């Protein structure tokens, strides 16, 4: 009877009776209330349209587009995440390999002297002993240990892919924010230098009026103090702008001196004037990488319950081996000393299964923790998004009011300057008006930077999607 006739019926019977032990994974369902429109998206600043994955292109800035491309290609955090993804995928390939027969080739060659009793009459006592063989073994996955292991490894790989997307989301948002901070810094520098120049002119005019007896030394000192206060803000803003450019260099995988000069040339704050597309809750949860990673880890941990449960049952392996031994190559493969062996092995930890049951309990605890982590990821995603939308909407509202205040202060300053030239008011009244205008200008410039940051935070909260 051939080996095929021996093992084919047995393998078929085992395959028909095989079943994967442990719970079958069912994806958790987020709360129904989380699938509707966002509470904070009622503002005209938002639109219910689907989120654009490459959202940074809405700024229509080719320099930013290039920086984001560089960051996605060279950022060290992205490279680490991709390396971890490759490791997880290698683990999946290893788990899948357990479905295949395991083969081992062996060969040996020895030269030695044997006792006469171990040699045929007339044969030399010193000779070569050559041996070669092939062994094949295959685990019959009767209780799903291997298939559950593949399922767990697949979940780990999917979670690593989602983690890589989460890193991309963070890197793109951080790159855009660093670029926006540098641009906002340049805009604030321009505003503060303009204010200092204005106060320099006012200081010169007040000094001349003092010489003419129309102003006092106190008036000059007050204007000088205000001018020095505004001038003192310039080094701080410049330092913050430089820090943003250094951060931008690191994010794009460069040393600070290697950042292209064009990256720091924008002097107008970064902002999208159109309504931001935000989608709704259901698409958010499907898109957010942290939610996807948590769901995939839950799937992997659920599968590991099955891996642990399979240890309660026998592990069955089928195998065979063949080989030949001789004192030269011709003797080994001349049809003489050939050997072969077929058989099966059953291993079973029984009746003491407490260790296996402890592993099952640990796997169930890991699954419970993964479910809690998924629920937390859903709640965190909704919280972050609602907070970002609310913050951005209120930042726009504050900007509108600051702009109205700046316009009013500018009109008042122009009127006051004209009145002073005509001698209708003194320098102290002009000083108060100019101080109000300076503070309004600086506050608006600072708020423009806050609007840009809040806008980027919205996109960060909404997540993104890439083909991993």
Per-residue pLDDT, averaged over 44-69, amounts to 94
- Higher per-residue confidence, 414 vs 428: 414
Radius of gyration, alpha carbons of the chain: 38
- pLDDT, residue 16, reads 43
Sign of CA dihedral 77, 82, 69, 172: negative
Q: DSSP assignment, residue 47?
A: E
What pLDDT is attached to residue 335?
60
pLDDT band at 360 (very low <50, low <70, confident <90, very high): very high
Other C-beta atoms lying within 10 Å of the C-beta of residue 299: 23
Strand 338-347 versus strand 126-140 pairing type: unpaired
Check residue 17 and give its pLDDT: 47
- Cβ atoms of 71 and 168 within 8 Å: the answer is no
Query: How much is the average pLDDT of 79-103?
Result: 96
- The predicted structure's pLDDT at residue 89: 96
Q: What is the pLDDT of residue 18?
A: 56
226/7: higher pLDDT = 226
Q: What is the pLDDT of residue 215?
A: 81
DSSP track, 430-459: HHHHHHHHHHHHHHHHHHHHHHHHHHHHHH
**pLDDT > 90: percent of the chain:** 69
- Give the pLDDT mean for 418-440: 81
| Contact status, residue 382 vs residue 375, Cβ threshold 8 Å | no
Distances (CA, A) of 118 to 27, 157, 236, 324, 445: 67, 57, 94, 18, 99
User: CB neighbours of 357 closer than 8 A, spacing ≥ 6?
Assistant: 312
12 pLDDT more than 80: no
User: For residues 71 and 198, which has the higher predicted lDDT (pLDDT)?
Assistant: 71
CA torsion, ordered 383, 384, 388, 391, to nearest 10 deg: 50
Q: Is 144 left (phi over 0), alpha (psi -120 to 50) or beta?
A: left
Percent share of the chain, pLDDT over 70: 93
pLDDT for 13: 44
Query: Confidence class of residue 465 from pLDDT cuts 50, 70 and 90?
Result: low
Half-sphere exposure (Cβ direction) of 370: Cα atoms closer than 13 Å: 26
Question: Residue 335 region, left (φ>0) first, then alpha (ψ -120 to 50), else beta?
Answer: left
CA-to-CA dists, residue 414 to 207, 408, 420, angstroms: 20, 10, 10
Residue 76 in this model has a pLDDT that exceeds 80: yes
pLDDT band at 6 (very low <50, low <70, confident <90, very high): very low
- For residue 407, the model assigns a pLDDT of 95
Given pLDDT bands bounded at 50, 70 and 90, which one contains residue 115? confident
Mean pLDDT, range 156-168, rounded to an integer? 97
- Distance between CA atoms of residues 287 and 299, nearest Å: 18
| Residue scoring higher pLDDT (219 or 241) | 241
Q: What is the CA angle 192-193-198, rounded to 5?
A: 95
pLDDT digits (tens, 9 = 90+) for 317-330: 999 999 888 777 77
The predicted model gives 54-65 an average pLDDT of 95
Identify the pLDDT of residue 271. Answer: 85
pLDDT at 344 over 50: yes
pLDDT at site 113: 82
Per-residue DSSP letters for 268-297? Answer: S-----SPEE---HHHHHHH-HHHHHHHHH
pLDDT at residue 434 greater than cutoff 50: yes
**Residue 8 reports pLDDT greater than 60:** no
- Residue 439, pLDDT score: 86
pLDDT of residue 5: 52
Does residue 388 carry a pLDDT above 80? yes
The CA–CA distances, whole Å, from 81 to 73, 77, 155, 315, 468 equal 12, 6, 16, 36, 11
Measured CA to CA in angstroms, residue 385 lies from 197, 350, 382, 455, 460 at distances of 42, 53, 5, 11, 9
Q: Which residue has the higher pLDDT, 305 or 416?
A: 305
pLDDT surpasses 80 at 237:
yes
Q: Measured on CA atoms in the order 259, 265, 271, 276, is the torsion positive or negative?
A: negative
The pLDDT of 103-122, averaged and rounded, is: 82
| 262 Cβ neighbours under 8 A, 6+ residues apart | 63
Task: Please say whether the dihedral angle defined by the alpha carbons of residues 68, 70, 72 and 76, taken in this order, is positive or negative.
Answer: negative
Tell me: the pLDDT tens digits for 21-35?
999 999 999 988 888
Interior/surface letters 425-437, b for 16+ CB within 10 angstroms, e for the rest: bbbeebbebbbbb
The pLDDT assigned to 27 comes to: 95
């Amino acid at each position: 009877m051939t080996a095929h006739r021996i093992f084919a019926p047995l393998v078929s019977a085992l395959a028909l009776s095989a079943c994967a032990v442990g719970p079958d994974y069912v994806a958790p369902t987020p709360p129904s209330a989380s699938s509707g429109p966002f509470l904070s998206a009622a503002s005209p600043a938002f639109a219910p349209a689907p989120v654009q994955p490459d959202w940074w292109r809405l700024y229509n800035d080719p320099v930013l587009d290039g920086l984001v491309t560089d960051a996605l290609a060279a950022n060290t955090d992205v490279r680490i995440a991709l390396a971890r993804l490759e490791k997880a995928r290698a683990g999946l390939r290893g788990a899948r390999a357990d479905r295949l027969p395991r083969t081992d080739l062996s060969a040996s060659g020895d030269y030695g002297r044997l006792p006469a009793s171990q040699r045929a009459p007339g044969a030399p006592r010193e000779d070569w002993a050559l041996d070669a063989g092939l062994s094949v073994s295959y685990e019959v996955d009767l209780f799903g240990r291997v298939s559950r292991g593949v399922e767990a490894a697949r979940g780990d790989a999917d979670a690593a892919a989602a983690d890589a997307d989460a890193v991309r989301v963070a890197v793109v948002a951080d790159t855009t924010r660093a670029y926006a901070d540098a641009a906002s810094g340049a805009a604030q520098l321009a505003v503060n230098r303009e204010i200092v120049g204005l106060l320099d002119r006012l200081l010169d005019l007040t000094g001349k009026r003092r010489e003419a007896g129309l102003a006092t030394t106190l008036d000059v000192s007050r204007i000088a103090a205000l001018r020095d206060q505004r001038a003192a803000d310039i080094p701080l803003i410049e330092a913050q702008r430089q820090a943003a450019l250094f951060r931008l260099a690191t994010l794009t995988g460069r040393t600070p001196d290697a950042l292209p000069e064009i990256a720091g040339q924008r002097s107008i704050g970064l902002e999208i004037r159109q309504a931001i597309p935000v989608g709704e809750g259901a698409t958010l949860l499907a898109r957010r990488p942290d939610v996807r990673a948590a769901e995939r880890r839950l799937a992997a941990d659920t599968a590991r319950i099955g891996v642990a449960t399979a240890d309660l049952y026998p592990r069955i392996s089928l195998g065979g081996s063949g080989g030949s031994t001789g004192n030269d190559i011709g003797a080994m493969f001349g049809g003489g000393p050939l050997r072969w062996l077929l058989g099966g092995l059953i291993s079973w930890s029984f009746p003491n299964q407490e260790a296996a049951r402890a592993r099952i309990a640990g796997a169930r605890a890991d699954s419970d923790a993964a479910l809690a982590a998924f629920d937390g990821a859903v709640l965190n995603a909704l919280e972050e998004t609602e907070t970002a939308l609310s913050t951005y909407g209120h930042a726009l509202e504050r900007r509108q009011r600051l702009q109205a205040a700046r316009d009013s202060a500018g009109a008042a300053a122009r009127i006051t300057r004209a009145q002073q030239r005509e001698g209708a008011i003194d320098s102290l009244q002009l000083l108060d008006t100019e101080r109000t205008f300076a503070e309004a200008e600086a506050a608006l410039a600072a708020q423009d930077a806050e609007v840009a940051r809040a806008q980027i935070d919205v996109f960060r909260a909404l997540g993104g999607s890439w083909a991993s």
